[in-house]
Structure 1
Amino acid sequence: MSATTWPYDADRDDPLTQLRIPVTGTHPDWRYTACFDRNSQVRSTGLEARQLASYITEYREYFFNDSYKAKFSKRPFDCDANTVIFHKWADGDWSYRRDSWQYGPFWVPVAPQLRGGDYDYKNATGPMTLERVMDKAHDVYPKRWIDWKADHPDVFSA
């Protein structure tokens, strides 16, 4: 695609794009499966980038049939979801949010400067590694996520 036809709000030339990880802001224009917040204080490591890519792949493999997956393969990103935005505050300190959230804390766990305040829930107190934040984001379907991680020990800890 030429620069004039790039329809996405994700950064076209970001290295994470090569891994099908959109790099956007906190309110993406597209319904990406997941993305990395460009306003993060720290960039993801190589392992964390692989974890983000695996998170997106797991969603695609679980929810979509082969024809839909083929449709995705023609785009640089998977788009058709309630976007999960991941933010990195510091090494080993991640948060996430869903673009559909309207109430409660903006990030889970909350931003470091808000920890210990009203929105700092005991079950989501930071800092958390990216893997722990992904676990938290999968609390509705934990079994499938646990199985996925077990099947991908090169990306996730045992």
Structure 2
Amino acid sequence: MITNDWPFADDADRDDPLTKLRIAVTSSHPRWCYLVTFDRESLARPTDEEAAMLASYLEEYKAYWYGDSWYAAKLAERPLDVDSGANGVIFRKYATDDWGYRRRSWTRGPLYVPQSPGIRERYPDEAPLGPMSLVRVMDHAHSIVGEVDDRWLKWKATHPEVFGP
């Protein structure tokens, strides 16, 4: 059921602490096109430091793609950032320093990269990545052919309070 005060009632958790950071907490296949999501079916929760990284990841995305545009202002009107034209990222935490991510548009291949610990153990030759910390997963999400995008590296460098030196 959708209500005026919480339009995501059929999808995202309203009272999760991550929601205050504009991070949607939902399933691996959310109904809405959130920019950044945390999979509520994760085996572990983000630490406060990791939650700050997720929020910063979202801010970098919005700064790069929307800047100070009218659409950025439109996004801010809702409690979570939704854009049907965006290929949002869904993060899952398996354990301490063991994260995965997926793009909303993925329909083939593994559900998350890196794959879950169970799959990595059963098929070590087919699932070579992992475990990876959240920042390494974010780097991977910003990579093309193994090279991390300069814009992401610059963002992290200008936010040492979140990502460290």
* TM-score clears 0.5: yes
Residues paired across the two proteins, number: 153
- Could you tell me which runs of 5 or more consecutive residues in structure 2 were left unpaired when the two chains were aligned: none
> CA offsets per residue over residues 106-153 of structure 1, 9 Å max, x none?
110011011152541x4xx11100000000000146110000000000
Instruction: Give 1:61's aligned residue.
Output: 63
- Look up the SS of the partner of 1:89 in the other structure: strand
Q: Equivalent of 1:139, from 140, 143, 158?
A: 143
Deviation at 1:4, TM superposition (A): 3.1
Q: What amino acid maps onto 1:100 in structure 2?
A: S
Mapped pair 1:7 → 2:10: no
Deviation at 1:65, TM superposition (A): 3.9
Q: What amino acid maps onto 1:73 in structure 2?
A: A
Please, what is the CA RMSD of the aligned residues?
Answer: 1.4
* TM-score, scaled relative to structure 1: 0.91
Mapped pair 1:77 → 2:80: yes
Contact kept, 8 Å, 1:85 with 1:99, in 2: the verdict is yes
Contact kept, 8 Å, 1:110 with 1:119, in 2: the verdict is no
Mapped pair 1:98 → 2:109: no
Instruction: Give 1:87's aligned residue.
Output: 92
Q: What amino acid maps onto 2:149 in structure 1?
A: P
- Could you tell me which runs of 5 or more consecutive residues in structure 1 were left unpaired when the two chains were aligned: none
Mapped partners of 1:54, 1:131: distance in 2: 11
Deviation at 1:79, TM superposition (A): 1.1
Instruction: Give 2:46's aligned residue.
Output: 44
* TM-score, scaled relative to structure 2: 0.88
Mapped partners of 2:3, 2:74: distance in 1: 22
- Look up the SS of the partner of 2:115 in the other structure: coil
Instruction: Give 1:31's aligned residue.
Output: 33
Mapped partners of 1:130, 1:151: distance in 2: 18
- After superposing on structure 2, the runs of 4+ consecutive aligned residues of structure 1 that deviate more than 6 Å are none
